[in-house]
Amino acid sequence: MIQAKGIAAFSAKEPLGPYSFTRRDPKDHDVVIDIKYCGICHSDIHTVRSEWGEAAYPVVPGHEIAGIVRAVGPKVTKYKVGQHVGVGCMVDSCQECAHCEQDLENYCLKGFTGTYNAMERDGSAPTQGGYSNVIVVREEFVLNIPEALPLDKAAPLLCAGITLYSPLRHWKAGPGKKVAIMGLGGLGHMGVKIARAMGADVTVLSHSDRKKEDALRMGAHHFVSTHDGSAFEKYAGQFDLIINTVSADLNMGDYFGLLKLDGSLVVVGLPENPLSISPFPLVMMRRSYAGSLIGGIMETQEMLDFCAKHNIAPEIEIVPPTQVNEAYTRVIKSDVRYRFVIDMSKIA
């Protein structure tokens, strides 16, 4: 077995702390990765605090992983030692259902295997994520990080990047389309940059005025603060597509009215409690309300290559592993500009 050092949650209420555990020795198709950086996604916080159901403690979170190949199993063909690679939210899937066959492992009919807080498909061990120094993953779930992307900035693309890229592609963001991004956090700021590069007209809907300058600097054409409610009248019927990245409870009915005839509001944010909706604004203008979950492996590679080509990277603040708990507190206060990334080389 391979010895691993990590940062784990031991219960919903305690702070995270150091944890030693083992990773499997590489099987034929496995890649052993020395983790250099791991992003902090709000999903890590929802999970370790058991906001989505009781977590299987101890949990080593982290699904925005960037690192360097340490070793490969004898039958690995796609990766070699020294290569820059990434791992996102999935480490396995059934690989044979209709959705996996369409490169939509994220919608695997038997359920994909999460990078942490899940069980390996053979039941051998719980999966543990990227707040650690090493991980072992089958090659089908490893991504190539293009040379143009530095590893620290590549990490958040593995979840935040693909979670916005996939719905923007699916709902055809591009020239002539008016796209709004709700919430300028880790996911939202990637949505702004990617939608802009796709050629859409981009608006940020934020719950205060504080991020206006940042949003415009990142490429948004317009910034709208929703805090006093006047925006819902002023911008009624404006958008083809709205993507909701907000991690907190909201009254969605207000937002449906911002869509044009046949517009779509796509939710990617996953707050603890159900969102309230009134069907009236949907019915009135044949509007759609939809959801989207990360993206498949092929599309994730496409997104990484797109970001490298268009010079797109997240805005990050690097923290040592000892400051994960402080970082969580700041994420919850929306006080992150715009993604924390843990420097895993500093793990004790």
CA angle centred on 346, ends 332 and 33, rounded to 5° = 95
CA 340 to chain centre: 12
Which one of 61, 186, 257, 281 is in contact with ligand NAP (CB under 6 A)?
186
Cβ contact 39:61 at 8 Å: no
Which one of 184, 192, 241, 297 is in contact with ligand NAP (CB under 6 A)?
184
- For Zn ion, the nearest residue by Cβ is 41
**d(Cα 325, Cα 317) in Å, to the nearest integer?**
14
Cβ contact 35:133 at 8 Å: yes
- If binding is defined by CB under 6 A, does position 269 make contact with ligand NAP? yes
Which one of 43, 127, 206, 238 is in contact with Zn ion (CB under 5 A)?
43
Which one of 236, 270, 285, 308 is in contact with ligand NAP (CB under 6 A)?
270
Which one of 159, 220, 265, 341 is in contact with ligand NAP (CB under 6 A)?
159
Print the binding letters for residues 280-309 with ligand NAP: x by CB under 6 A, - otherwise. -------------xx---------------
- If binding is defined by CB under 6 A, does position 168 make contact with ligand NAP? no
CB of 73 to ligand NAP, least distance (A): 29
Cβ contact 38:86 at 8 Å: no
- If binding is defined by CB under 6 A, does position 41 make contact with ligand NAP? yes
Which one of 55, 72, 158, 187 is in contact with ligand NAP (CB under 6 A)?
187
Question: How many helices (H) does the chain have, and how many strands (E)?
Answer: 11, 17
Cβ contact 21:10 at 8 Å: no
Cβ contact 143:86 at 8 Å: yes
Of 47-55, 159-167, 265-273, 315-323, which segment contacts Zn ion by CB under 5 A? Answer: 159-167
Tokens linked to 38: 């791991």
CB of 178 to Zn ion, least distance (A): 27
**d(Cα 222, Cα 315) in Å, to the nearest integer?**
19
- If binding is defined by CB under 5 A, does position 157 make contact with Zn ion? no
CB of 43 to Zn ion, least distance (A): 4
- If binding is defined by CB under 6 A, does position 206 make contact with ligand NAP? yes
CB of 90 to ligand NAP, least distance (A): 11
- If binding is defined by CB under 6 A, does position 245 make contact with ligand NAP? yes
**d(Cα 38, Cα 155) in Å, to the nearest integer?**
6
Print the binding letters for residues 23-42 with Zn ion: x by CB under 5 A, - otherwise. ------------------x-
* Side-chain-side CA neighbours of residue 99 (13 Å): 14
Tokens linked to 75: 């039958």
Centre a 10 Å sphere on the Cβ of residue 153 and count the other Cβ atoms it contains: 21
How many angstroms separate the Cα of 22 from the Cα of each of 60, 63, 84, 142, 321? 12, 18, 23, 20, 19
- If binding is defined by CB under 5 A, does position 159 make contact with Zn ion? yes
Give which of Zn ion, ligand NAP, none residue 113 binds (C-beta under 5 to 8 Å, depending on kind).
Answer: none
Print the binding letters for residues 113-152 with Zn ion: x by CB under 5 A, - otherwise. ----------------------------------------
Judged by CB under 5 A, how many residues of this single chain contact Zn ion?
A: 3
Residues 6+ apart with CB under 8 A from 37: 65, 66, 67, 151, 152, 154, 155, 318, 341, 342, 343, 344
Residues in contact with ligand NAP by CB under 6 A are 41-43, 46, 159, 163, 183-188, 206-208, 211, 245-248, 250, 268-271, 293-294, 331, 334, 336
Residues in contact with Zn ion by CB under 5 A are 41, 43, 159
